[in-house]
Amino acid sequence: MDQRRLLMHQAMLADRPRVIAYDRALEGAVRGGVVADVGAGTLALSLLALRHGAEHVYAIEADPQTAAVAAAVAERNDLKGRLTIVQGDAREVRLPRQADVVVSEMMGNLGPEEQMMEILGAFTRRNLARGGRVVPKRLLTHLVPIEFDREGWGLWSDDYFGFRLDAVQESAAPEAQLCFFQRPPRMLGAPVTLADHRPGGARPVRRTRRSMTIDRPGRLHAVAGYFTAALTDGISLTNMPSYSGCNWAVWVWPLRHTSVSVGDELRVEVRPPDDVRQVTDWRLDCALRKGK
C-alpha cells in the first residue's frame, strides 16, 4: 500500500472548522434512517452520521486502498451491522436501500474541480429516497477583486524597497496561484458568482464573462476565486478568508497593481481548462474600465 496516499487525509482531518461544520449539519439532517457518505475516505463523515443517530451508513469510496483502511477503521470501532463499505465509483453504485441523507465533501479550492455535484447528481438519481436530503445542498464559486498586504507577492508588487520590479512582471506570464492568506485581503467590490451548482443540476463551467464593480477605492492586486458550500440551511463552509487550519487554498489570479476608484469596472473572461481538476490551469483575461 502507498501510505503517502493517506496523508492527504491529514489536512482534511486537521481542519477543525470543516469537521465541526459537517458535524452540525449532520446533527440537523440525520433523523435515524440510512445515510450514504459519498467519497468516504477515512470515514470522517460516516462516523459523524452515526454519532447523530443514523441507523445504517453506506460509505462509498472509489480508491481501493483507502476503502481498505476505512474497513479497518470500521472494524476497530466495532461498526459491524451499522456501517457498510462500498468500494467503487459512486456514479455507478446502486445501494440495497435508498438513503435518507447523502453527505459528501469533495470541494476543490475553487469548488468544482473534484466534480462533487456531478458525482452527487449521478448518485442521488439512483440512491436518494423521495424527500431525502443532500449535504451540501449547493456549491457556489465566487470571484472578487482584492488588495492584499505584502504577503509574498514579490514579483507582482510595484515596490521593492523603493525600487521597481515591473520589468520582471512584464517578462513573466501570469498564472493562477494558490494562497493561504495570513491576513484577510481587502475586497474592493462585491463578489460575483461564477458557478452555482446543486446536486443533479451541475454543468461544467464553460468559458464565461463576468463584470465586477469597484465599490472601495484602493490598489487592485488580484482577483481571488473561492467556494461557498451551503451544507444545510444556515450552515455553510467557505475557504475565504483563509482560517487557521483551513485545508483549501484560495485561488488567486495576480494582476499588475493598479489604483482603482469607486465605479471602475473590472471585466473578466474565465477560461476553464479541459481538465477541470487542474486548478492552476484556470485562466482569466482581465480588462479594467475606469468609471467617470
Active site residues: 105, 113
Per-residue mark of binding to ligand SAM, 37-76 (x: CB under 6 A): --xxxx-xx--------------xxxx--x----------
Among 24, 82, 91, 210, binds ligand SAM (CB under 6 A): 91
Question: Which uninterrupted H or E stretch holds 64?
Answer: helix 64-76
C-alpha dihedral (212, 216, 222, 224), degrees to nearest 10 = -60
Least CB distance to ligand SAM at residue 179 (A): 20
Tell me the three cell numbers of residue 284. Answer: 482569466
Could you write out the DSSP letters of every residue in 140-153?
A: EEEEEEEE--SSS-
Per CB under 6 A, contacts with ligand SAM among 137-196 are: none
Nearer to ligand SAM, 42 or 228 (CB): 42
> Which residues between 11 and 40 bind ligand SAM (CB under 6 A)?
12, 39-40
What is the closest distance, in whole angstroms, from the C-beta atom of residue 127 to ligand SAM in the complex?
12
Task: Report, in Å, the least distance between residue 156 CB and ligand SAM.
Answer: 30
- Closest distance of CB 198 from ligand SAM, Å: 18
Binder among 35, 74, 101, 106 for ligand SAM (CB under 6 A): 106
Cell 499588475, residue located:
256
Contact of 28 with 49, CB cutoff 8 Å: no
14 three-state secondary structure: helix
Q: Which string of x and - marks every residue 110-129 that binds ligand SAM (by CB under 6 A)? A: ---------x----------
In this structure, the number of other CB atoms found within 10 A of the CB of residue 101 comes to 26
C-alpha distances out from residue 197 to 84, 115, 205, 210, 289, Å: 29, 10, 10, 17, 30
**What 3-state class would DSSP assign to 177?**
strand
Which residue, 213 or 236, has its beta carbon nearer to ligand SAM? 236
CB 153 within 8 A of CB 165: no
Residues in contact with ligand SAM by the rule CB under 6 A? 9, 12, 39-42, 44-45, 60-63, 66, 89-91, 105-106, 119
